[in-house]
């Protein structure tokens, strides 16, 4: 019976998020009271703290708990990595991306996207472009494809060198005449 109640509250929380935050939190608290080790409930609680409350440290705690209780739940990793990037925990994000890429069922296109974001944050634009292209190759969803294409275009603009205007010979000769006088 407890498992049934836990699932009912978890479904209510999933259904309410992100539009009914009060209902989400109430249902999540009930779900976690029935099963404090449920990775899906812990992940959703992490999302609430990261996306809504901008409390990244608390969100990281919930994500870490979710991963500790169910390491092979692929949905957790993109949210956890995004939170690490928002919190500027780049080394931790890099390690988590590397680990998550070894798991079955995880969206590898999204993970490569976050890897490219990480490289971009570190100022490695050319490397980021390569990883964005990898994300494009792995993407199977038009939304992701369009989003990554836009990001790729944006980063390419960052590395295009600005062209210096060449001074015309007439201007150079006029300046030389003025300085000679």
Does position 1 have pLDDT exceeding 60, yes or no? no
Question: What average pLDDT does the chain have?
Answer: 91
Residue 76 DSSP SS3? helix
Q: How far apart are CA 32 and CA 12, in angstroms?
A: 13
Domains and CATH numbers, the chain: 1-98 (1.25.40.10), 107-160 (no CATH)
Q: What is the pLDDT of residues 9-32, one digit of tens each?
A: 999 999 999 999 999 999 999 999
Residue 18 DSSP SS3? coil
Confidence band of 4 (pLDDT split at 50, 70, 90): confident
pTM given for the model:
0.85
Token reading at 162:
């600005």
Q: What is the pLDDT of residues 56-75, one digit of tens each?
A: 999 999 999 999 999 999 99
Within the chain, residue ranges assigned H as helices are 2-16, 21-34, 39-47, 56-69, 76-86, 90-100, 108-121, 125-138, 142-159, 169-180
CA contacts within 13 A on the Cβ side of 53:
15
Give the rounded percent of residues in the chain with a pLDDT score beyond 70: 87
Q: Is-contact 17 40, C-beta < 8 A?
A: no
Helix axes 76-86, 56-69, angle to 10 degrees: 150
Q: Is-contact 132 113, C-beta < 8 A?
A: yes
Other Cβ atoms closer than 10 A to 69 = 17
Q: Specify the residue for token string 């080790």.
A: 37
Q: How far apart are CA 46 and CA 108, in angstroms?
A: 21
């Amino acid at each position: 019976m407890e498992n049934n109640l836990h699932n009912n509250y978890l479904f209510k929380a999933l259904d309410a998020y992100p539009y009914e935050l009060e209902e989400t939190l109430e249902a999540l608290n009930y779900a976690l009271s029935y099963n404090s080790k449920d990775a899906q409930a812990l992940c959703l609680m992490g999302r609430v703290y990261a996306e809504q409350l901008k409390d990244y440290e608390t969100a990281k705690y919930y994500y870490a708990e979710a991963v500790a209780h169910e390491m092979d739940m692929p949905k957790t990793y993109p949210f956890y990595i995004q939170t690490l990037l928002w919190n500027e925990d780049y080394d931790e994000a890099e390690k988590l991306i590397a680990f998550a890429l070894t798991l079955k069922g995880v969206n590898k296109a999204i993970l490569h996207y976050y890897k490219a974001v990480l490289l971009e944050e570190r100022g490695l634009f050319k490397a980021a472009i390569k990883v964005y292209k990898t994300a494009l190759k792995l993407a199977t969803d038009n939304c992701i494809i369009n989003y990554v294409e836009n990001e790729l275009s944006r980063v390419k603009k960052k590395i295009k060198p600005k062209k210096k205007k060449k001074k015309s010979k007439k201007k150079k000769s006029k300046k030389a005449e003025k300085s000679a006088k």
